[in-house]
């Protein structure tokens, strides 16, 4: 089984590594040209969304710290 790892970077992007594909809301696949790692924008400032272009360096701040989500409620 392939593994995909997402890392929430401090004051920056979401780094995605492994075997993955990225699609838009209509299901069309982005051409990643064989990349197995890249950064996804989470600051909203990138001119290349959904990919990170480093624009967060101009003042985006978020200290990432892991936590547990509540248990999924069953209906």
How confident is the model over 29-56, as pLDDT tens digits? Answer: 999 999 999 999 999 999 999 999 999 9
Q: Per the domain annotation, does 70 fall within a domain?
A: no
SS3 24: coil
Q: Is residue 72 part of a domain?
A: no
Q: Is residue 51 part of a domain?
A: yes
The model carries a pTM of: 0.84
Q: Please indicate, yes or no, if residue 48 is contained in any of the structural domains.
A: yes
Using alpha carbons only, give the angle 3, 6, 10 rounded to the nearest 5 degrees. Answer: 155
Does some domain include residue 71? no
Q: What pLDDT is stored for residue 58 in this prediction?
A: 79
Both tokens assigned to 13: 């992007």
What burial class does residue 38 get, using C-beta atoms within 10 Å of its C-beta: 0-12 exposed, 13-18 middle, 19+ buried? middle
Assigned token pair, 65: 């710290």
Averaged pLDDT score across all residues of the chain? 93
The domain in which residue 6 lies consists of: 1-60
Total domains in the chain come to 1
């Amino acid at each position: 089984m392939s593994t995909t790892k997402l890392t929430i970077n401090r004051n920056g992007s979401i780094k995605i590594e492994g075997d993955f594909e990225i699609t838009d809301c209509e299901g069309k696949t982005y051409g990643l040209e064989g990349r197995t790692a890249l950064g996804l924008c989470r600051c909203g400032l990138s001119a290349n969304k959904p990919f990170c272009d480093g624009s967060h360096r101009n003042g985006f701040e978020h200290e990432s710290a892991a936590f547990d989500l509540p248990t999924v409620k069953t209906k």
